[in-house]
Amino acid sequence: MTNIILLGPPGAGKGTQARKLVDEKGMIQLSTGDMLREAKASGSEMGKRVAAVMERGELVTDEIVIGLIEEKLTSGAASGGFIFDGFPRTLAQADALRELLDRVGLSLDAVVEMRVDDEALVSRITGRYTCGDCGEGYHETAKPTAKEGVCDVCGSTNLKRRADDNEETLRQRLMEYYKNTSPLIGYYYAKDQLRSIDGLAEIDTVAASIAEIVG
Ligand code: AMP
């Protein structure tokens, strides 16, 4: 069992690669972004509180996301291992994750840094959409649906764009990444857990680099 963090700016391909690991290696994806979007869609009190923060591209509080991860980690074991996707995003979250893993008797095996450049991120983010039913991800030019408006995987026509996938919000999300999240690169490098890969390569090439690390 291997537990990994996928680290990288918005649009680096973390979600795409996490889905592949789930399908191919039976790992469990823990995406705080997905959990927060679910909370928002369900109309819960917490969901209402985070909605505006997310739409501005800012980070929600450490307390909220740590609570979400704690709930998942303590409510079941993953035989294939966990993929932390979009978490941790601050040094405080990284410390909290270490404590949580200790508490449940798990360890972190690797932190995969997906390197991409900012220009690629804008076109990746502004062109992407997802099937609202099965979660498959698409992109206007890089990976369009075979039939316009219909999901290749499940046939649904419920294709959606994220509210925060616009150029202006992306600028704020990138700022948050450089300010709060990129220090984690040094943090995990110092712990000898960082493995950096080229996130600009083709999806399958990136997947192969990650497979080498996951084993
Ligand atoms: P993502 O789907 O990972 O791009 O996350 C979408 C948005 O959810 C982010 O822009 C933040 O507002 C919020 N979010 C997701 N994960 C975290 C986290 N670990 N810490 C703080 N905010 C988060």
Give the tens place of pLDDT for each residue, 128-158.
999 999 999 999 998 999 999 999 999 999 9
Distance CA 80, CA 1 (A): 5
Tell me the CA–centroid distance for residue 146 and ligand 1, in Å. 30
Residues in the chain with pLDDT < 70? 76-78
Provide the whole-model pTM. 0.94
Cα-Cα end-to-end distance for the chain? 9
For residue 69, give the amino acid letter.
I
Give the number of other Cβ atoms within 10 Å of residue 122's Cβ.
14
How many other CB atoms sit within 10 Å of the CB of residue 194?
18
- Cβ atoms of 142 and 204 closer than 8 Å: no
**What is the model's pLDDT at position 19?**
94
Which candidate, 127, 157, 156, places its Cα nearest to that of 144? 127
What is the pLDDT at residue 106? 92
| Ligand 1 centroid, distance to 211 Cα (angstroms) | 25
Our answer on whether the CB atom of 10 is closer than 6 Å to any ligand 1 atom is yes
Structural contact between residues 86 and 29, judged by C-beta atoms closer than 8 angstroms: no
**Cβ–ligand 1 contact at 206 (below 6 Å):** no
The pair of three-digit structure tokens given for residue 1, joined into one six-digit string: 């069992």
- Residue 175 CA, ligand 1 centroid: distance in Å: 13
pLDDT computed for residue 80 by the predictor: 86
Q: Give me the pLDDT at residue 127, please.
A: 93
Identify the pLDDT of residue 78.
65
Pairing of strands 128-131, 82-85: unpaired
Give nearest CA residue, ligand 1 atom 2: 33
The finding on whether 81 has its CB within 6 A of some atom of ligand 1 is no
